[in-house]
Structure 1
Amino acid sequence: MKGKKRVLLAVSGGIAAFKAAALTSRLVQADYEVKVMMTKNALNFIGEVTFQALSRNPVYTDTFIEPDPEKIAHIDVADWADIIFIAPASADVIARLANGLADDMVSTTIMASTAPKYIAPAMNVHMYANPAVQRNMQRLVQDGYQFVEPDEGYLACGYTGKGRMAEPEDLHAMIDHHFIRAAHPEWHGKRVVITAGPTQEVIDPVRFLSNRSSGKMGFSLAAEAAARGADVTLVAGPVSLDTPHGVNRINVQSAEEMYKAVMNKAEAADVVIKAAAVSDYKPAEPLTEKMKKSAGSETLHMIRTADILAELGTLEKKPVLIGFAAESENVEDYAREKLRKKNVDAICANSVVSEGSGFQVDTNSLDLFFRDGTKDHIPLMSKADAAKQILNHIPPLWVNRYDR
């Protein structure tokens, strides 16, 4: 049985070859085994020694260099790969693959491999839009290749537009997703709505009421669900976190905005995970001018915000519903009461006063309480790993519910 996942990276000629070096470094640090092959034009932009040092493997540049007489190099490495990633992919390489040409190390290896193949184009904006290039890409899609859309931005040629190769972190995420998706077919196509972060309730043009939520737990859940192949909508309060790869993000500020965004998506969802720390109260009448200091005390009249979790629990076609409970005492009692009162399938509860757990940290420890009375404990671990544990508990909850 194989150990590390094996990535064969094909680098063609283009200034974006430096991003391929960064991708190689990221993958090796993430415990992938990486081998690199390069076209002759790629060698004009970056040296093979760079990739050899980063990958800790020999670099393939010539079909006719056969260091091991017992093996044919391009066949051997073609069979070795779990996945082939072509980044950057020039218009020339795309054309050659689309037309079945195989006369260098990169093309012969790709043609000889049955591994899944991903292509990350990088070229001038007009070249990318050229009908011939678009036609070649469409042919490759029909042949089973998957494309990573290039970004828009400033290009090395001086133009600004679509054609810049996707960033190494996005390519890394796609490779992660490829392997995670394969391990979790039950999540493919599931429609998942996740809330994350705090909400802010306006007092006046300067001040607002909020809480300590960083959004890290919800964002970790969104990243993992998307990696497993789910169609994820992330409704995020005001946080400074990057949108996970493959996630549709809706930014909101107030509890009311979050309520509207969630309810708009909920009835079509298979799963809703309410990880956001929503304000329970808001000022009855926000001020239009800044409140000035006075000698005495001030009283702020507050009213309740909409209870999103309870409202979701009343839906006729209720999705699998997962709530969170951040408590400072009597965690189990409050969690079980919330489970019953809100009519949800599970509650993920944690103590915000426990070290390493709760708000504004990268770790969490949780107790999961289920409708059937069972519970499970997630010990202190990274929020990314905790998200995996939480999602592992969800598929049994949607079995035998109703057809969608």
Structure 2
Amino acid sequence: MLKNKNIILGVCGSIAAYKSAILVRLLIKAGANVKVILTPDGANFITPLTLATLSKNPVYTQYFEEETGVWSNHVELGLWADLIIIAPISANTLAKLATGICDNLLTAVYLSAKCPVYVAPAMDLDMWKHETTQANIKKIESFGNTIIEPGSGELASGLYGAGRMAEPEEIISFLHHSIKQSMPLFGKKALVTAGPTYEAIDPVRFIGNHSSGKMGFALADELVTLGAEVTLISGPTAQKEHQTLKRINVISAQEMLDECISIFPETDITIMCAAVADYRPKVIADQKIKKQEDNLVLELEKTVDILATLGKTKNEQQILVGFALETNDEENYAKGKLQKKNLDLVVLNSLNDKGAGFKSDTNKITIFNKALERTVFETKRKAEVAKDICIAILKISK
């Protein structure tokens, strides 16, 4: 959820500032780009050098650094950020955010920002409970900011109660959940198939195809990015997923069919991207077939059409997307597949198009919807193609 996010971490004057060092480390570990703004009071509790070392970026403390002559552009910083986290936020800074006081770099960046803002309060029990503090909390929440509630425990004053800043691990977990909830496919379950299937001839040989699985894996990753809970059923491939998802490895068309039938009823979105074998040997030899005759005749039988099988059982709330890889009369075949197999979208790619097809890092697609409306895309990298396909899915999401 936090990978490649630009995050500004504001650190205010509180003994809990020591936790900010751990929080920076966790944010960096999660793949975020972190810039720290340390208030003058915050610098009394933790050094800029510590936070700069962990964030791998200079720490901002003033509008203008007299020694270096560097001016910190608060507007630029505010627009750079995808998220602002103020942890710890003191009662003083909380009051400034509530009333619009802008007397330091952190508050100026806050007022300039257009991104979500999260604050993790840290203060003594009586300060936290005070009517003014609680009124300020409600006020900044009304502005759209999110409060990461403090925990209870022993406080620096020796009192016991609410006011402890949430632990860094809790903040990371909170951010993950909050970001995911805001994603367009949050709460949706998705199924993606990818790669080839191998149909055994004997214990050594098989019938297969050249699918690398790149397109299916890119789709699975993009669906996770959009907040879906994704199951990826993959045939034999060297590809690796880059997001957190459930992966099921299969070899044959029958294995893929069995897994799809098991999972499909619970899914909201299914994208059948795998290059499934249309035929398989009718008889599989128990032992390796020896090279004896000049000719070898294999009798093949049809495999079960997985896409058509799912299309027959899908309900009105489910979205089913198929692929059509063609070499001739491409659009008619694609539209025929869309209608015969009860699809919501069909993605056509042609081996006649340069940069499309198996193994390539790029693809060129045309998408047809149920109304047979056609959208043509230029050749793009498969990660970008996956985004285009997911945008088309979002348009018809139910």
TM over 0.5: yes
Whether 1:311 aligns to 2:319 is no
Letter in 1 for 2:326: E
> How far off is 1:41 after superposition?
8.1
Q: Is the 8 A contact 2:26 2:172 kept in 1?
A: no
Indicate how the Cα distance of structure 1 residues 100 and 208 shifts in structure 2: closer, same or farther if over 3 A, else same: farther
Q: Is the 8 A contact 1:66 1:72 kept in 2?
A: no
Residue 357 (structure 2) aligns with: 358
Residue 35 (structure 1) aligns with: 35
Q: Aligned match of 2:217 in 207, 211, 219?
A: 219
Provide the C-alpha distance between the structure 2 equivalents of 1:41 and 1:242, rounded to a whole number of angstroms.
40
Deviations 1:278-308 (A, max 9, x none): 0111122222222221241111221111100
Letter in 2 for 1:230: A
Letter in 1 for 2:207: L
**SS of residue paired to 2:389:** helix
Residue pairs, 1:158-197, within 5 angstroms:
178=179, 182=182, 184-185=183-184, 187-197=185-195
Provide the C-alpha distance between the structure 2 equivalents of 1:271 and 1:22, rounded to a whole number of angstroms.
28
Letter in 1 for 2:383: A
Indicate how the Cα distance of structure 1 residues 78 and 371 shifts in structure 2: closer, same or farther if over 3 A, else same: closer
> How far off is 1:246 after superposition?
3.0
Q: Is the 8 A contact 1:356 1:364 kept in 2?
A: yes
Provide the C-alpha distance between the structure 2 equivalents of 1:371 and 1:18, rounded to a whole number of angstroms.
45
> How far off is 1:259 after superposition?
0.6
Structure 1, unmatched stretches of 5+, are: 28-33, 53-57, 87-96, 102-110, 119-135, 149-170, 400-404
Deviations 1:316-364 (A, max 9, x none): 6262211100111111111112112212122101112321111111111
Q: Is the 8 A contact 2:27 2:172 kept in 1?
A: no
Letter in 2 for 1:340: Q
Letter in 2 for 1:145: I
Residue 173 (structure 2) aligns with: 147
Rg comparison, structure with higher value:
2
Give the TM-score, by structure 2 length. Answer: 0.66
Q: Is the 8 A contact 1:98 1:139 kept in 2?
A: yes
Residue 127 (structure 1) aligns with: none
Residue pairs, 1:140-289, within 5 angstroms:
140=166, 145-147=171-173, 178=179, 182=182, 184-185=183-184, 187-289=185-287
Letter in 1 for 2:222: E
Q: Is the 8 A contact 1:358 1:364 kept in 2?
A: yes
Deviations 1:371-391 (A, max 9, x none): 212111121111111111112
Provide the C-alpha distance between the structure 2 equivalents of 1:321 and 1:341, rounded to a whole number of angstroms.
13
Indicate how the Cα distance of structure 1 residues 265 and 100 shifts in structure 2: closer, same or farther if over 3 A, else same: farther
Residue 159 (structure 2) aligns with: none
RMSD, aligned CA: 4.2
**SS of residue paired to 2:313:** coil
Q: Is the 8 A contact 2:187 2:228 kept in 1?
A: yes
Residue 337 (structure 2) aligns with: 338
Residue 8 (structure 1) aligns with: 8
Q: Aligned match of 2:53 in 47, 53, 71?
A: 47
Q: Aligned match of 1:20 in 9, 28, 31?
A: 28
> How far off is 1:145 after superposition?
3.4
Indicate how the Cα distance of structure 1 residues 297 and 365 shifts in structure 2: closer, same or farther if over 3 A, else same: same
Letter in 2 for 1:229: G
Give the TM-score, by structure 1 length. Answer: 0.65
Aligned length: 315
Provide the C-alpha distance between the structure 2 equivalents of 1:144 and 1:12, rounded to a whole number of angstroms.
12
Indicate how the Cα distance of structure 1 residues 23 and 371 shifts in structure 2: closer, same or farther if over 3 A, else same: closer
| Identity over aligned pairs, percent | 33
Structure 2, unmatched stretches of 5+, are: 11-18, 39-44, 73-101, 125-136, 149-161
Indicate how the Cα distance of structure 1 residues 117 and 41 shifts in structure 2: closer, same or farther if over 3 A, else same: farther
